Amino acid sequence: MKKSLVALALMGAFGGAYAQSSVVIYGTLDAGVQKTTNTANTATQITKRDNNKLGFRGVEDLGSGLKALFQLEIRYEPDTGVIESTTRPLFQGQSRVGLQGAFGTVRLGRGLTAYQESTIAFEPWSGLPNVAGYQTNLQVAGYTSDPLSAAGNSGNRFSNAIWWNSPVWNGFQLNVNVASKEANGSPAIIGRGTAAAPQYGANAMASANPYSISATYTNGPFAAMLATERNAIETKLWSMAASYKPTTALKLMATYTKQDLEHTVAVNNEVDAWVLGANYTVGPGKFLFGYGQKSPDGQLKTKQISVGYEYSLSARTYLYVDLASKKTPLTATATSDVNQKHYALGIHHNF
């Protein structure tokens, strides 16, 4: 018998009944007090240390070892309640759907690139995008994964992309990620052109398909990564990283990354960077240490040292303190650097 229109509408679907799924709501709310000297905004601020997330995900068992999976993740600022930026998508974190089986996992949509997702495990702040951590600058040698998106957008994701993560074979996993060339509302990029004839015009399409590949290996206390990526304006990146746990309480990390800007920059078009890190767990506490350098050809180096402490109130909630000192030029042509001191104190809650 035909269901009434209203009954169908309330089911949220036309054209077929379907089993109720179990959507998991998850997220992070991280807020604290911070201050950074020698920056555009040196005031004491209420702000975040981690990304703030509100996400929805689910896995459907299709039988025979096959699963369908989806994930949608909102990102927002906890201190003002806004989404991360007016030019960022509602589901800035990710929006992906795919299948998982003996062949690994295939997903379509938007998310962290294969490389950006893999490098997090080798960064002493676990990839948290804050001033004390290294993820968004030194860990990636200043590279951006998405230069042809609107200004203010995220720099470590692909939109319009497909992902393949292999199964884990004896500790080894391959992650491959390719994006279409679709335009995404970027401003013009002069590059090797001129202001009148920029190398990439406003709302340009990629000149080649962006891709990202990482290979990871884990063997007991040892883990390593090799990765390469090319973005929409053909900037290339290579990275290698390793970690070792001499005891269960201590994790040592090292990363080396090289960015090649030759496609858009005529001279001084390489940047390399390295980061050393350690995490040390003592009871409910965890100490974080990091030191790193970024060396762009023909520019002053950036050097950063950081120390952090996380005190767990539970598996989901911790308090944190960060201290960092960064010597960095304020512009690419600066002939002297400044010393930015950073202080942070706050609470991190996963739900």
Written as six digits, the tokens of 328 are 């960095």
Binding mask 105-124 for a copy of itself (x = CB under 8 A): x--xxxxx----xx-xx---
- How far is residue 250's CA from residue 279's CA, in Å, rounded to a whole number? 6
Counted residue by residue, the chain has a size of: 351
Cβ proximity to a copy of itself: between 58 and 298 the closer is 58
Q: Which of 36, 70, 186, 227 binds a copy of itself (CB under 8 A)?
A: 70
- Terminal alpha carbon distance of the chain: 42
Residue 64 is encoded by which pair of tokens?
A: 């025979």
206-265: which residues touch a copy of itself (CB under 8 A)?
A: 216, 218, 223
Choose, by CB under 8 A, the member of 36, 71, 137, 145 that binds a copy of itself. 71
Nearer to a copy of itself, 61 or 196 (CB): 61
Residues 179, 241, 253, 344: which binds a copy of itself (CB under 8 A)?
A: 179
Q: What is the DSSP secondary structure assignment for residue 171, as one 8-state letter?
A: T
Give 163 or 260: the residue with its C-beta nearer to a copy of itself: 163
Judged by CB under 8 A, does residue 85 bind a copy of itself?
no
Q: Residue 245: left if φ>0, alpha if ψ -120 to 50, beta else—which one?
A: beta
In whole angstroms, the minimum distance from the beta carbon of 351 to a copy of itself comes to: 4
Between 35 and 341, CB nearer to a copy of itself = 35
List the x/- string, 24-43, binding to a copy of itself by CB under 8 A: xxxxxxxxx--------x-x
User: Binding a copy of itself by CB under 8 A: which of 38, 199, 269, 350?
Assistant: 350
Range in contact with a copy of itself (rule: CB under 8 A) among 81-89, 196-204, 233-241, 299-307: 81-89
Q: In b/e form, how buried is each residue of 287-317, taking b as 16+ CB within 10 angstroms? A: bbbbbbebbbeebbebbbebbbbbeeeeeee
Closest approach of a copy of itself to the CB of residue 37, in Å: 16
Q: Which stretch binds a copy of itself (CB under 8 A): 168-176, 191-199, 234-242, 324-332?
A: 168-176
Cα separation of 120 and 17, whole Å? 41
Minimum Å gap between C-beta 198 and a copy of itself is 20
Applying the rule CB under 8 A, the residues between 6 and 25 that interact with a copy of itself are: 6, 9-21, 23-25
# chain residues binding a copy of itself, by CB under 8 A: 115
Q: Find the radius of gyration of the CA atoms of the chain.
A: 22
Binding to a copy of itself (CB under 8 A): which residues in 280-319? 313-317
Binding span for a copy of itself by CB under 8 A among 99-107, 261-269, 289-297, 332-340: 99-107
Q: Which helix (H) or strand (E) holds 236?
A: strand 236-247
Using alpha carbons, select from 152, 207, 162, 206 the residue that is nearest to residue 183: 206
Which is closer to a copy of itself, CB of 68 or CB of 265?
A: 68
Instruction: Note the Cα 306 to chain centre separation in Å.
Output: 19
Burial 214-235 (b: 16+ CB within 10 A, else e): bbbbbeeeebbbbbbbbbbbbb
Alpha-carbon distance 111 to 120, whole Å? 14
Query: Residue 148: what are its φ and ψ, rounded to 5°?
Result: -100, 25
| Number of Cβ within a 10 Å radius of residue 115 | 26
Q: In this chain, which of 69, 176, 276, 278 binds a copy of itself, going by CB under 8 A?
A: 69
